[in-house]
Homo-oligomer: A and B are copies of this chain.
Amino acid sequence: MLSQSTLFGLAVATLASMAAIIRYSHDTLTISLGFATIAGVVSYYMLPQLIPVFILSNIVGKDVLKKDRPVLAETMGLPAAIIYLVAMFLFVPFPFMSFFNGNATLVHDEQPIAGVFPYHKLSEILSALLAIQSMALLGFADDVFDVRWRYKVWFPAIAAIPLLIVYYTNFGVTWVMVPLQLRPYLGELVELGWLYYVFMLLYSVFCTHSINILAGINGLEAGQSIVIALSIAINDLLFIQDKQATSPAVETHLFSLYLILPFIGVTAGLLWHNWYPARLFVGDTYCYFAGMTFAVVGILGHFTKTLMLFFIPQIFNFIYSAPQIFRLIECPRHRMPKYNPETNKLEPSMASLQKKPVGKLGKIILKLFSTFGLVRIIYNEQGEPTDCNNFTLINLVLVWFGPMNEGKTTAVILLIQGLCSCIGFFIRYKLVQYVY
């Protein structure tokens, strides 16, 4: 299955990571990088071996955008998430190693709180893992049972409760800074109080589901997640370089790195096999797992706003979809692009504008989208609009760039995601001075 040279490369990577862990056991970031590499190697090597197990258990899906519509193993995000969690469980002691190896003191008496052990940091990691693991469990249940939207939409909010408790006790910051332009009216700070906790719950709901909404072609779910995760990691590194080692901001960004590096590892391993033409599917399990990881990192790392800059394509996709979701324009059951077996390329799938008459608001939206080149409308001989493309980012890309092979379509969307991250960085580090 794997060539000898690949195996050799993997073995070298694993050994190098282990050597790094041992050599730099005083540097937690190096250790995290080591765990990330090992987690990546394990998922790259293990996932293909699990394919027959999943097929035997009938956890499968049809790859409908191929000529022969092959049946592939589904829900491979589950083993990926488990590998991630095992890596994290094994990693948890390392940030506190100085308390275990005798280099720092640990007080055990009737009042453990009197000790110097950073329980608040431990609580952070534990609540983060609890939230992420909850979503892996829900995602798996969703893949097996097809849970209804009205139930599953709220699950991330419940999973995030321990996170909020830790947020409350560790930071408790519930004000937001007001942009310069609005300060004459609102003042410098606005105290949101408990509304801020509602915001964080909704935030975790949005992150968790947004990966799942921009999905449907090979490599897209894992691909967008790896771009977002890399953006987070770069942002963390910029912060850490910038500040002094003891500042609390450095600590929160280190925390973010500890969570995101192994995530990048397992996602890379998963993406390798999920890339066009896919050998396996990632499933809702992966999407929820990835989305909650981002939410956790954003909330506990204190950069919810910056994180949203890396979600620009997801936010666009969500807003762009709204006219169909709210039924202003007809919404077919599936909005995936259309596969053309003649050319082996994807084409935008269309929604009928005649099945039921388009209302006034629908017409305004069509006009607006048309002005900005966001829609392709097909007219009949009488010049009446009969169809338009379905409003998803995937279809829009196919409208803009013309029919493309599936792998190329994914690559173009990931490129867009990457460009948006660059714009995000520009806003965060350059434009910010005009706003705050």
Complex CA distance for A171 and B112, rounded to whole angstroms? 8
A204 at the interface (CB under 8 A from B): no
In the complex, whether A57 has a CB less than 8 A from a CB of chain B is yes
Say yes or no: is A126 at the interface (Cβ < 8 Å to chain B). Answer: yes
A328 within 8 A of B: no
Q: A57-B144, A141-B140, A144-B57 are in contact. Are A166 and B122 (CB under 8 A)?
A: yes
Identify the stretch in A12-20, A89-97, A421-429 within 8 Å (CB) of chain B at 4 or more residues: A89-97
B92 & A165 in contact (Cβ 8 Å cutoff): yes
The 8 Å CB contact of A108, one of B113, B134, B161, B172, is B172
Instruction: Give bound CA distance, A92 to B167, whole Å.
Output: 14
Counting every copy of the chain, the complex holds 2
The complex places the Cα of A158 from the Cα of B172 at a distance, in Å, of 32
Cβ-based interface call for A272 (8 A): no
Q: Which residues of B contact A136 (CB under 8 A)?
A: 137
Is A267 among interface residues, defined by CB-CB distance under 8 A? no
Any chain B CB within 8 A of the CB of A67? no
Q: How far is the CB of A193 from chain B (nearest CB, A)?
A: 13
Task: Confirm or deny: A303 has a beta carbon within 8 angstroms of a beta carbon on chain B.
Answer: no
Segment at the B interface, from A78-86, A235-243, A346-354, A394-402: A78-86
* Residue with the highest number of chain B CB atoms closer than 10 Å, among A58, A118, A130, A161: A130
Give the size category of A's interface with B.
35 or more
Is A78 touching B141 in the complex (CB atoms < 8 A)? yes
Which of B90, B92, B146, B170 meets A112, CB within 8 Å? B170
For residue A110, CB closer than 8 A to chain B, the reply is yes
* Residues B158 and A100 in contact, CB atoms below 8 Å apart: no
Q: Mark A160-191, 1 if CB is under 8 A from B, else 0.
A: 01100110111111000000000000000000
Q: Is the Cβ of A116 less than 8 Å from the Cβ of B119?
A: no
Closest residue on chain B to residue A126 by CB atoms: B126
Q: How far is the CA of A248 from the CA of B123 in the complex (A)?
A: 21
With a cutoff of 8 Å between Cβ atoms, the chain B residues found around residue A92 in the complex are: 161-162, 165
Within 8 A of B (CB), among A98-134: 99-100, 106, 108, 110, 112-113, 115-120, 122-123, 126-127, 129-130, 133-134
Give the residue of B119, B134, B168 whose beta carbon is less than 8 angstroms from that of A85. Answer: B134
Closest 10 pairs (CB-CB, A-B): A119-B119, A126-B126, A89-B161, A112-B120, A108-B172, A117-B169, A119-B120, A137-B137, A57-B145, A122-B123
